[in-house]
Structure 1
Amino acid sequence: MPGRLAILACGGALPVALASACPQALQICFAGVPHNLGEGAQEHRFEKFGALFQALHEAGVTRIVLAGSLPRPTLDPSAFDAVTMALVPRLMAGMQGGDDGLLTTVISVFEERGFAVLGAHDLLPDLTAAEGFHLGPPLDEIAESDAARAADILAALSPLDIGQGCVVAGGQCLGIETAQGTDALLGFVAATDPARRPKARGVFVKAAKRGQDLRVDMPAIGPGTIAAVAAAGLAGLVIEPGRVMILERDKTLAALSDTGLFLTARTL
């Protein structure tokens, strides 16, 4: 029988969904990081990994899931405990490899201490969409071509640990998701001078980076994404099946209906 689960929560709706589906899980939040969990969440600090590991072991935790959005935190070196201090060289080396490098290091740190690291999709399999899922109007020939070009751009950038999203309109790349995130990308596209945009409305493609460990930082869309795609004047979204989460699914699908956008899941 598997041991207790702990939800290491950051911002957004995903930790709340996990807590609802796994009510016996230990809920962990972090000082200075906004979250939507209730008062029962146990607060820890990133500077004190030793205290966190001890609390997890004492609670009988053998499985953890890391969930929610987290900008790279600002750390106070004077508050590091001995365990964290020993981990700093590894974490710093991981940071040099980009987000994937850092997250791979974090996973290794937890696994070395006996914790199995799960993905949110392992616990909530309905988070992703299957191949062929489609809502909204069909893609025309231009949208099909734009989606394929956006996917090619993301595939080319994957080895550099850059980008989970790309916007292409009429064959022209209008933006690539970088460290600023999806909202920043779509806001940039929305602010682009119409004179510099093709007549084609364009497509937003969201996909995982090749070789990305999907247990942490799996790409996601939600109702806010749909609103931002609509505000950017795009025709719709293409997501990678099984590798992109649809958060707040009912609200997201309702937003699609309200805006008239398409959402399709397909391997490109």
Structure 2
Amino acid sequence: MNRTAIIAGAGHLPAAVAGALDAPLVCALDGFAPLGLVPDMVFRVERLVPFFRALEDAGVTRVTFAGAVQRPRLDPAVFDAGTAQLVPRLMAAMAQGDDATLRAVIALFEEAGFTVAGTAVIAPDLVPGAGVLCGTVSPQDEADAARAAAIVAALGAVDVGQGCVVAQGLCLAVEALPGTDAMLAGVSAMPASLRPPGTRGLFYKAPKPGQDLRVDLPTLGPDTVMRAAQAGLGGIAWQAGGVICLDRDAMIAAAVDAGLFLWAR
């Protein structure tokens, strides 16, 4: 049996990925329940080796990661002997940041014999290729997107964020630990005197440079479109093939209603 397991976190993405699979095994990290799905298993990082064995017993050969998680606090009293041997490796990776932690987790699953597949492979419709989904992209928008891409690449190189807002070449905000919603809320509250006149600007999103695209892709959805409109922006651009779009049809409908463009760059 060649079954796929979804290693699920919080949010709507696990359900969207499950819809693209035939009878997936849904495995939720304890404390991070997905929306719209009932997990088949709940696991803890402290019991990772027994979890690997449970996946094997269920016929799983491939895993995919979907959903939001935060670094869990580890309870030394819960470790089994096998997982305890992995702790120094995990802790060293965590000390280096999110990217190093994710690379270490992927490596552990692969060493346990599982193929790790990204969302673009499992559910390609969720990761748009290049093109304008709606609206019109002006030459100024193209210039702002190029500027934003350079800024996001610089942010990602130091593991800070995956998005920013640019208008007429000026960076109005960057994404950090509070996330996209907080960044766009800050732009919404920005006095008009601080914003350049003319074009409305754009929100840009992209993976970090060198990021393993099998896990932790940036995600956009209808709520993002709504918040970009509230921030007075002219559109949303993102790296084609590197960003998940949840409910693309609803995103397009919301963007059309708000007069925004959506562009996979």
Instruction: State TM-score, norm by structure 1.
Output: 0.92
Q: Please, which runs of 5 or more residues in structure 2 have no aligned partner?
A: none
Task: Give the conservation status (yes or no) of the 8 Å contact 1:186–1:232.
Answer: yes
Shift of 1:227: 1.0
Q: Give the aligned residue type for 1:89.
A: P
Encode CA deviations 1:158-197: one digit per residue, 9 max, x unaligned: 3222321111112221111122221122122222222222
Shift of 1:116: 0.6
Shift of 1:250: 1.8
Q: Which residue of 2 aligns with 1:157?
A: 155
In structure 2, C-alpha distance between the alignment counterparts of 1:191 and 1:134, rounded to whole Å: 28
Q: Give the aligned residue type for 1:11.
A: A
Q: Which residue of 2 aligns with 1:10?
A: 9
Shift of 1:37: 4.4
Q: Which residue of 2 aligns with 1:193?
A: 191
In structure 1, C-alpha distance between the alignment counterparts of 2:187 and 2:46, rounded to whole Å: 37
Q: Which residue of 2 aligns with 1:63?
A: 62
Q: Give the aligned residue type for 2:102.
A: L
In structure 2, C-alpha distance between the alignment counterparts of 1:93 and 1:40, rounded to whole Å: 30
Q: Percent identity?
A: 48
Instruction: State TM-score, norm by structure 2.
Output: 0.93
SS in 1 for 2:164: strand
Q: Give the aligned residue type for 2:109.
A: F
In structure 1, C-alpha distance between the alignment counterparts of 2:191 and 2:73, rounded to whole Å: 36
For these two proteins, the number of residue pairs brought into alignment is: 264
Q: Which residue of 2 aligns with 1:103?
A: 102
Q: Which residue of 1 aligns with 2:222?
A: 223
Q: Which residue of 2 aligns with 1:41?
A: 40
Q: Give the aligned residue type for 1:107.
A: I
In structure 2, C-alpha distance between the alignment counterparts of 1:161 and 1:231, rounded to whole Å: 28
Q: Which residue of 2 aligns with 1:262?
A: 261
In structure 2, C-alpha distance between the alignment counterparts of 1:152 and 1:103, rounded to whole Å: 24
92-101 or 231-240, larger mean C-alpha shift: 92-101
Within 5 Å, give how 1:179-190 maps onto structure 2.
Answer: 179-190=177-188
In structure 2, C-alpha distance between the alignment counterparts of 1:55 and 1:242, rounded to whole Å: 33
In structure 2, C-alpha distance between the alignment counterparts of 1:232 and 1:77, rounded to whole Å: 45
SS in 1 for 2:73: coil
Q: Give the aligned residue type for 1:29.
A: A
Q: Please, which runs of 5 or more residues in structure 1 have no aligned partner?
A: none
In structure 1, C-alpha distance between the alignment counterparts of 2:30 and 2:104, rounded to whole Å: 21
Task: Give the conservation status (yes or no) of the 8 Å contact 2:12–2:36.
Answer: no
Q: 1:193 to 1:88 in 2, by over 3 A?
A: farther
1:176 to 162, 174, 177: 174
